[in-house]
Amino acid sequence: MLTMTAENFGESRNSIAYKGPSGSGKTTLAASWPTPQIWAYFDKNLKTIRDLVKSGLDAKVMIFDSYQEFDQEFVQPALHRKLEAETLIVDTMDFMAAMIMRDVQGIKPKLAISEWGTILGRLRSVCSDLASTTSNVPDKPSYNIVMNYHLMDVTDDSGTLLKIAPKIPGQFKDELEAYLDTILYCTSEISSTLVKVPGGGQKLMPSKQFISHSVPPNPFITCKGGGLPPRLKGDYQTLQNIWDGKSEDGKDEVPSS
């Protein structure tokens, strides 16, 4: 048993989720967290993570063939504080859940009702085990935990939108965000800036900017802001500046109210 006190609560690490559509910056924002990093990478698109690693990101990227392999090589070593990393990242949770479903279903045409319970239990174990590693344990490492996932519309029988939830089948879509401290919804915008061109003159150059929301942009999305601004860049340094009571750029102290 670990008893938390005022002293060791302050030494705990952070857990966060970046959620949103493809191309909204989830992987890029996760890569901004302290290094070295270890990634459990399940997304089928390798371009972003490949470019980040090739550009010098201090990260070990692990790609798993089965839930058993993921549990044995990532989750259990993390739970027992045997991984040498500052940040552990799961990208994405919905692709990881799909792998669990595939492993449980095997060659059967559909899942049995009891097998949905197996899937739910595995998802709960992954999240509770990883989230527990943010806590300080004397003489053992602790980790920042980052989880990325896509979203899906949840509707009633008439097609009316009820909420926008993690793209995970079954009951766990309603539980996932309870395991994490901060939940940011990611979007992207295209903006144009004037740049000088050779020979004189200027031209407009489009660029993509990633935006994180700590306050729901609509009533169907949940977020956990932790005192963050409604819109922010969402990278680790920006978040840490705000958590430290500074402005987003870290230059000015935020006046206390």
> Region 209-238: what's the mean pLDDT?
93
> Region 154-175: what's the mean pLDDT?
93
Average pLDDT value over all residues in the chain:
91
> Region 65-92: what's the mean pLDDT?
97
Place of tokens 């402005």: 247
> Region 57-82: what's the mean pLDDT?
97
User: Can you give the pLDDT at residue 44?
Assistant: 86
CB distance 89 to 29 below 8 Å: no
pLDDT band at 166 (very low <50, low <70, confident <90, very high): very high
User: Which residues are paired to 213 by β-bridges?
Assistant: 185, 231
pLDDT band at 10 (very low <50, low <70, confident <90, very high): low
Phi, psi of 82 (to 5 degrees): -105, 0
pLDDT band at 29 (very low <50, low <70, confident <90, very high): very high
User: Can you give the pLDDT at residue 249?
Assistant: 83
Phi, psi of 156 (to 5 degrees): -90, -175
Assessment of whether the complete model's pTM goes beyond 0.75:
yes
Place of tokens 């995970």: 168
Tally of CB atoms within 10 A around 193: 10
128 pLDDT exceeds 90? yes
Tally of CB atoms within 10 A around 115: 15
Instruction: Between 227 and 235, name the one with better pLDDT.
Output: 235
Per-residue buried b or exposed e for 49-77, using 16+ beta carbons within 10 Å of the residue's own CB: beebbeeebebebeebeebeebbeebbeb
CA angle 246, 34, 29 (to 5 degrees): 80
CB distance 70 to 90 below 8 Å: no
User: Can you give the pLDDT at residue 12?
Assistant: 80
137 pLDDT exceeds 90? no
Element (H, E) at 185: strand 182-196
Structure tokens at 185: 């919804």
1 pLDDT exceeds 80? no
CA angle 187, 190, 192 (to 5 degrees): 150
User: Which residues are paired to 253 by β-bridges?
Assistant: 246
Going from the N-terminus, what domains does the chain have, and what CATH number goes with each? 13-243 (3.40.50)
pLDDT band at 8 (very low <50, low <70, confident <90, very high): low
> Region 128-133: what's the mean pLDDT?
96
234 pLDDT exceeds 80? yes
pLDDT band at 96 (very low <50, low <70, confident <90, very high): very high
pLDDT band at 255 (very low <50, low <70, confident <90, very high): low
17 pLDDT exceeds 60? yes
Q: How many Å apart are CA 185 and CA 234, to the nearest integer?
A: 9
